Amino acid sequence: MCETGVCSRMQRVVSIPEFVKGQLWKFDQRCIEIGHVGKLLVSHKGVVLGEKKPARSKSRLMTIKELQRFLTENRAVLIPDSGA
């Protein structure tokens, strides 16, 4: 808490649910599709929306914390019923 009791800039804590294979996270006009989820790493693919045939990128690996931070910074939203 701030000394005056009121902070000019409050940080909002956003909790991201556990990653599950097949989830789609949307931000801007792009999505990330979650692949394999391990103890520390997550594989994911980028998907571009709004095209007749969605363009997919190669699968990439990131740590779970890095991906959570990336999704939070980009204000990504989980698309309902996209997980297993």
Burial class (CB in 10 A: 0-12, 13-18, 19+), 76: buried
Burial class (CB in 10 A: 0-12, 13-18, 19+), 44: buried
Would 68 be classed as within a structural domain?
Answer: yes
Would 41 be classed as within a structural domain?
Answer: yes
At residue 35, the pLDDT reads 94
Would 45 be classed as within a structural domain?
Answer: yes
What is the C-alpha separation between 30 and 41, in angstroms, rounded? 21
Does the predicted model carry a pTM greater than 0.85? no
Would 11 be classed as within a structural domain?
Answer: no
Would 32 be classed as within a structural domain?
Answer: yes
Would 18 be classed as within a structural domain?
Answer: no
What is the C-alpha separation between 76 and 27, in angstroms, rounded? 5
pLDDT tens digits for the chain (84 residues)?
Answer: 555 555 555 455 557 789 999 999 999 888 999 999 999 999 999 887 766 666 667 899 999 999 999 999 999 999 987 555
Domain that holds residue 56: 24-78
On whether the CB atoms of residues 42 and 36 are closer than 8 A, the answer is yes
Would 17 be classed as within a structural domain?
Answer: no
- Which residue in the block uniquely carries the two structure tokens 């692949």? 35
Domain count, the chain: 1
